[in-house]
Amino acid sequence: MATGLRLEDAYMLTEEKYEDLSTPREEAFEIPLKIKKEQGKRAILLKGKKSAPLIVSNLFETRDKLLRILGLKKVEELYELVTKSTMKEDEAFSYEPLEDHYRRIDIGLDALGALKFYEKDGGFYYTSSIIVTKTPSSHNASIHRIMVIDSRRAVARIVPRHLYRVYEDRLNKGENTPVTILLGAHPIVEIASSISPPFDQYEFTLIPHFIGSKVPVVMSPVNQNPVPLGTYFIIEAEMTPEFVDEGPFVDIMGTYDRVRKQPLIVVKEIWALKSEKWMTHAILPGGGEHQLLMGITREAQIWKAVSSVVPRVHKVRLTPAGGGWLHAVVSIDKNHDGDGKNAILAAFGAHPSLKHVVIVDQDVDPDDPYQVEWAIATRFQAEDDLIVVKHARGSTLDPSAQDGLTSKMGIDATKPISASIIFEKAKIPGE
């Protein structure tokens, strides 16, 4: 019998040694504080006093851990995977009977591992929750933060993308929007949900590219949406025409996102995997997992776009201080002196939320801020090598932007093609 993609399997792959802290702990704020303290060190498993499942975190807050979970050696392999085309659902999925793997439970939505992370959060949140809904000819899966109201009601932040489009179409017809909410999904499922293929192309059909075979799925019991087998909780619900307050909540920049009116979600049924233990994934807002989950697919798009205009791209990094979202450093090879500027424009086109990008040569490591600053200091002249784009679409996650409009800056910190020895970084033989 197929077992599917389980969060527990990913947890066991994170490190040779991980920390099991499953003694009951307070959800607010003891668990989030522990998660933050262990960032970059180890994966942890926690048990909340009010929660039925174990809470796992720090699965992939570093690139090395993410690649280990995915069974990859280089981040460029991941870029290749997330930029592949979607498949037809019947070609991508093998279907399993729901009742063989899941059972309906009476536990409320508020007892599945929701956490209050920061002192001014508007409530208890799920931060790795995936919402699946039908589109006219396929399905859509996307990650959304969900704030719990009570055992049967919640509210999610819905940005103007594909789920929002489905919701608006239903709203205009006077209908609720049936949705299936997934909690406790494997990181591969989460990464697939963070990719943005065209509308009417189902994100989960990308999963076979990662696992090398069809992905086992079950049909959700009420809304009949295909969801990956192994996900611990399947929640059948509806998004209603009623709007309620959502937030404040800490976004990827580590700042508070404002309170918004968002659609009320009403739960119909909750089903759980038949398992000796249940698990959910808590992603620390503004932490490493948050940045990588949002940013790694955008890095892939930048890598692909810049690769089309320069001979070679060596590294793309959405930087931690830029939230893994607003700032990028790209190292390239050049054939012409204008290649650096073309790389800047390609990066902005590939990731519209990008605010600043620095282009450097192969000998400068984008992972080292010292080297990047050195390149700007020695290979950049603002009069010739600076590109500024005013009043462009940016990111609402930037608190300095005005309704998402921003000024963008590109810095070409590459040396001239005919560069002499004065541009070379000196080395001692053997270092």
Q: Cite the active site residues.
A: 251
User: Quick one: residue 275, left, alpha or beta (phi over 0 = left, psi -120 to 50 = alpha)?
Assistant: beta
Distance CA 6, CA 9 (A): 5
CB 248 within 8 A of CB 120: yes
318 closest CA partner among 11, 79, 42: 79
Instruction: Output b/e per residue, 135-168; b: 16+ Cβ within 10 A.
Output: beebbbbbbbbbbbbeeebbbbbbeeebbeebbe
329 closest CA partner among 339, 307, 314, 342: 314
CB 271 within 8 A of CB 288: no
Structural tokens at position 69: 């979970």
Angle of helix 63-70 relative to helix 187-194, nearest 10 degrees, comes to 110
- Percent of the chain that is helix, strand, coil (3-state, to 5): 30, 30, 40
